[in-house]
Amino acid sequence: MQNRLVVCVCNLKPVKMRGIESQGMVLCASTPEKVELIRFDESCKPGQLVSCEGFIRRPDPVLNPKKKVWEGVAPDLKVSTEGMVVYKEKPLLIDGRLPLIAPTLRDVPVK
């Protein structure tokens, strides 16, 4: 993952993993056999926002783990049969126009 741009969920509560504090989660398409980093247009820059068509963006500063927001969202976040990352069948887009893509995996969860 060195020298790669990735898509992160950054408003998760920080947790220690293997003794190191994690303050975000890298999104990947995955099966039990394979994990792929989500890709996007190389013109994208760090800090650009990812949105979902039809949903108003109102992020919490930090997700409350007691409300289990991520657990409610995650089951509907997947890679479509066309390879685009979707939430409830709507594409996730960078700055409202550039899709998130899984290189080879199709119809799998995004975690």
Rounded CA gap, 111 and 100, in Å?
Answer: 14
| Torsion 79-4-62-51 (CA) sign | negative
3 domain residue, yes or no = no
50 domain residue, yes or no = yes
Q: Can you give the CATH number for the domain in which 70 is found?
A: 2.40.50.140
Q: Which domain holds residue 19?
A: 8-99
39 domain residue, yes or no = yes
Indicate the number of domains in the chain.
Answer: 1
**Tens digit of pLDDT for each residue in 38-97?**
999 999 999 999 999 889 888 877 777 778 777 888 999 999 999 999 999 999 999 999
38 domain residue, yes or no = yes
pTM: 0.87
| Beta strands at 25-26 and 50-52: parallel, antiparallel or unpaired | unpaired
